[in-house]
Amino acid sequence: MVLERPLAQVCDNHGVNLSKKLPTISVLNDALKNANVVDVPQWRFVQHLADIRNLCDHSKSREPTVEQVNDLIDGVLKTTKTLF
């Protein structure tokens, strides 16, 4: 929920309608891109964060590296500070 909440708030701020009651990061991110709230580089950055987050939460094959975890933390902080 660390990334979902800020993205949901940005959707709300911009009046972006969501098709799901509990949208995933990808659904939120896609909705923001489709509404021209974020550009493709921003969209890709959030997708990258979502991939790392999923590795941390869902992957059973391997653990994320320390660098990936640090990238996720730094990226979420950057996103929450720069995306309105």
Give the tokens for residue 16: 């972006």
Average pLDDT, the chain: 92
What is the model's pTM? Answer: 0.88
CB atoms within 10 A of CB 82: 9
At residue 59, the pLDDT reads 63
Q: Per-residue pLDDT averaged across 50-67, rounded?
A: 86
CB atoms within 10 A of CB 13: 11
